[in-house]
């Protein structure tokens, strides 16, 4: 290196070379991990101005230095949570797994699965012929080598995920594409931030499983709607986290179908740990518990610090819940073209509920009244008071991925502020 600045004209060829190295060379797991991160970083640089360390301000230099040093901080560690132990790193190359990737274009998208800003779940949905959840879930199990480490038969995992994906309803928002998006978003946390390398295999599997199934069977209406209409599901679950309890029950019933039991080799204690963890994670996606979860996580982080090896079992579980909750509300923190598609979808679903409430002569829920809601204002409020504070809290545990999200949030806030001015 001659110390000259890193100019944009060499970035694209550099990224192409690294991608070919990752695809064609027999790299070790740690080398695959490093190359994947380097590609992600160069892609971020490609979207920025020319980079010269000498011209960076102090905060940028600090970030760059921490990124360069992140690999030297990674080291093996003991783990006994969930009763499944294994050496690090857990990640493996996507090129080595036997995924049913049917086209080169889909394969290229899957290779971006760790990338917050480059992965396009809508494109994956199209290229996979309507099976984005299967594509993403199988890729993450392979990415973290969980098929081999937990002795999961590939055909059983595939059959289970296919049955889950079919059980998602074709709502505008709460559908299999949303589930795939949340699962891939979690995958970014797991691939890019140090804390994830201190999780056990069973904790990782529980998180991925939970995101996959977290909205299965969603009826496209809120818990309050089900309670207020005296829906059978609300009666069954005593008005408490109605949808979330239903998602869990549906998923574990599907798990009991012939040929779907992924976990029959686990000991009773291990399965109890797995099931309890999944239940707690999915119940924590109920927005009614958002403030309590955020406050508890923030207090935990302040008290114990970011090294989750020092956290007790309950505190570790809190971290898992927080990560999946963040993934569930992360679509406004994606690149603006993707975020705007999600906005259209969620607003459409909300307004459909409002129409149903009006038709029944019920009070129309605040965010569901198409005659009163001003979308730019509602989105700006959600970003400012819910999404941004949540990712600011998560930054203490997952600074790399939360940093990507917070940058996009600033872009989205400016967009909606401009839209508010046009009202």
Give catalytic residue positions: 174
Q: CB burial class (10 A; 0-12, 13-18, 19+) of residue 134?
A: buried
Closest by CA to 340, choosing from 412, 423, 422, is: 412
Whether 105 and 136 have beta carbons less than 8 Å apart is answered as: no
Q: Six-digit token pair at 124?
A: 């994956």
Whether 141 and 208 have beta carbons less than 8 Å apart is answered as: yes
Q: Six-digit token pair at 183?
A: 């699962």
6 - beta bridge partners?
Answer: 51
Rounded to 5 degrees, what angle do the CA atoms 156, 162, 165 make? 140
Measured CA to CA, the distance from residue 26 to residue 28 in angstroms comes to 7
Outline where 48-98 has alpha helix (H): 58-73
Quickly count: other Cβ atoms within 10 Å of residue 170's Cβ.
Answer: 10
Helix, strand, coil percent content, the chain, rounded in steps of 5: 70, 0, 30
Dump strand ranges (E) for 273-329.
none
Q: Six-digit token pair at 29?
A: 């797991």
419 - beta bridge partners?
Answer: none
Contacts of 38 (CB under 8 A, 6+ apart): 18
| DSSP assignment string, 149-194 | HTT--HHHHHHHHHHHHHHS---SSSSHHHHHHHHHHHHHHHHHSG
> Taken in order 400, 401, 403, 407, is the CA torsion positive or negative?
positive
Whether 216 and 179 have beta carbons less than 8 Å apart is answered as: yes
Closest by CA to 334, choosing from 267, 280, 397, 407, is: 407
Q: Which residue has the tokens 């920025």?
A: 48
402 - beta bridge partners?
Answer: none
Q: Six-digit token pair at 56?
A: 């960076």
Q: Six-digit token pair at 69?
A: 């040093």
Burial 151-161 (b: 16+ CB within 10 A, else e): ebebebbbbbb
């Amino acid at each position: 290196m001659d110390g000259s600045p890193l100019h944009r004209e060499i970035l694209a060829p550099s990224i192409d070379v690294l991608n070919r190295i990752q695809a064609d060379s027999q790299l070790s797991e740690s080398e695959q991990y490093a190359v994947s991160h380097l590609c992600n970083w160069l892609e971020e640089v490609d979207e920025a101005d020319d980079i010269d360390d000498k011209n960076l301000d102090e905060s940028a230099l600090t970030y760059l230095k921490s990124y360069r040093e992140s690999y030297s901080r990674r080291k093996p560690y003991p783990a006994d949570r969930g009763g499944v132990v294994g050496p690090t790193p857990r990640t493996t190359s996507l090129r080595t797994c036997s995924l049913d990737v049917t086209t080169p274009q889909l394969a290229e998208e899957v290779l971006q699965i760790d990338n917050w800003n480059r992965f396009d779940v809508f494109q994956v949905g199209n290229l996979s012929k309507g099976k984005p959840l299967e594509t993403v879930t199988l890729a993450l199990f392979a990415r973290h080598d969980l098929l081999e480490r937990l002795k999961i038969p590939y055909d059983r995992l595939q059959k289970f995920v296919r049955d889950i994906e079919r059980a998602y309803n074709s709502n505008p928002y709460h559908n299999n594409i949303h589930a795939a998006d949340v699962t891939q978003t979690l995958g970014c946390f797991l691939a890019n931030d140090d804390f994830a390398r201190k999780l056990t295999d069973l904790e990782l599997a529980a998180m991925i499983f939970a995101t996959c199934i977290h909205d299965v069977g969603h009826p496209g209406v809120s818990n309050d709607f089900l309670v207020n209409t005296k829906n059978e599901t609300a009666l069954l679950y005593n008005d408490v986290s109605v949808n979330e309890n239903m998602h869990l029950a549906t998923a574990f019933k599907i798990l009991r179908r012939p040929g779907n039991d992924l976990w029959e080799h686990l000991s009773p204690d291990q399965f109890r740990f797995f099931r309890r963890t999944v239940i707690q994670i999915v119940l924590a996606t109920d927005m009614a518990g958002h403030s309590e979860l955020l406050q508890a996580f923030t207090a935990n982080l302040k008290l114990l610090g970011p090294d989750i090896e020092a956290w007790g079992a309950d505190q570790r579980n809190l971290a898992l819940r927080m990560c999946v909750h963040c993934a569930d509300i992360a679509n406004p923190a994606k690149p603006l073209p993707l975020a705007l598609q999600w906005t259209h979808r969620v607003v459409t679903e909300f307004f459909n509920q409002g129409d149903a409430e009006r038709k029944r002569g019920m009070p129309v829920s605040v965010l569901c009244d198409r005659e009163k809601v001003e979308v730019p204002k509602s989105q700006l409020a959600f970003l400012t008071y819910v999404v941004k504070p949540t990712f600011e809290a998560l930054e203490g545990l997952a600074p790399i991925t939360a940093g990507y999200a917070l940058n996009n949030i600033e872009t989205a806030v400016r967009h909606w502020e401009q839209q508010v001015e046009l009202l």
